[in-house]
Amino acid sequence: MKDLFGQALLDYYLGDSENPLVLHNKFSKPDSLELDGYFFKADELDDFDLIALSFCEGKILDIGAAAGRHSLYLQQEGMEVYALDISHHCCELMKKNGVKNIIHQNIFDPMDQKFDTLFMLMNGIGITGNVPGFRSFLNRAKSLISESGILIVDSADVSYLNEEYQLPQKEYLGEIEYQYEYKNEFGEWFTWLYIDKETLKKVASEEGWEAQIVYQEEDGQYLGILNLL
């Protein structure tokens, strides 16, 4: 599978900002992603980031770390953080950029460590693809988290998109299909999950977790903290 996202981030880090990473969907015009937002700048972290990061404690796993934006902040704060990403290009980028602890693997691959904080920002929950995938992830996370550990996630209710566009029918409206385009290459279509607060709480409870919404912005993006029941 082509890793166009990781390649674009690595190229951008190495100085190539001329080629846009384009994100296609099946309901509206494609968009070019602002890659600069994936990189760490201490003075550009917004309130949402800082509030989420303030909950991190102990041994931390940054899941889907990408360019290591949040891992670098936590590392700078003297915390023990491990940056996990499935992308070889992202892991190479993070190494070049000074991330100390990098784990190159799929989150579902075997791992012999436990963590006090599991961390997924920038709608990192999207990697689970759909609601059943999120259920599978929650069960996987049970083997990675310490007894009193927490899982930090953010997401949003995207049902408003259906008012402006006719979204493709899915089992759950927040399962959005995307495709990357970079340097005239097209990746495979993939599904990215956006989950509303009530569905998050319901699914979490059914899978043995308690979910609390600790912060929400005007645009509907919210921050959730999950604990094992």
Share of the chain above pLDDT 90, in %: 87
What average pLDDT is seen over the chain? 95
User: Does the pLDDT value for residue 1 go beyond 80?
Assistant: no
Average pLDDT over residues 35-46: 88
112-128 pLDDT tens trace: 999 999 999 999 999 99
Query: Which residues, 6 or more positions from 137, have their beta carbon under 8 angstroms from its beta carbon?
Result: 107, 125, 128
pLDDT bucket at 99, cuts 50 / 70 / 90: very high
pLDDT at 19: 95
Residue 57 predicted with pLDDT over 80? yes
Q: What is the mean pLDDT of residues 15-33?
A: 94
Q: Is the predicted pLDDT of residue 87 greater than 80, yes or no?
A: yes
- 170-185: burial string, b at 16+ Cβ within 10 Å, e else: eeebbbbbbbbbbeee
Position 58, amino acid: G
Sheet holding 145-155, edge to edge: 102-104, 80-85, 59-63, 115-120, 145-155, 222-228, 209-216
Cβ atoms of residues 95 and 39 within 8 Å: no
Helix axes 88-96, 4-13, angle to 10 degrees: 20
pLDDT in tens, 155-194: 999 888 877 777 777 878 899 999 999 999 999 999 999 9
Task: Report d(CA 119, CA 53) in Å as an integer.
Answer: 9
pLDDT the model gives residue 86: 97
pLDDT band for position 44 (cuts 50, 70, 90)? confident
The span from the CA of 106 to the CA of 84, in Å, is: 8
In order of start, what are the domains of the chain with their CATH numbers? Answer: 4-228 (3.40.50.150)
* Band of pLDDT at residue 40, cut at 50, 70 and 90: confident
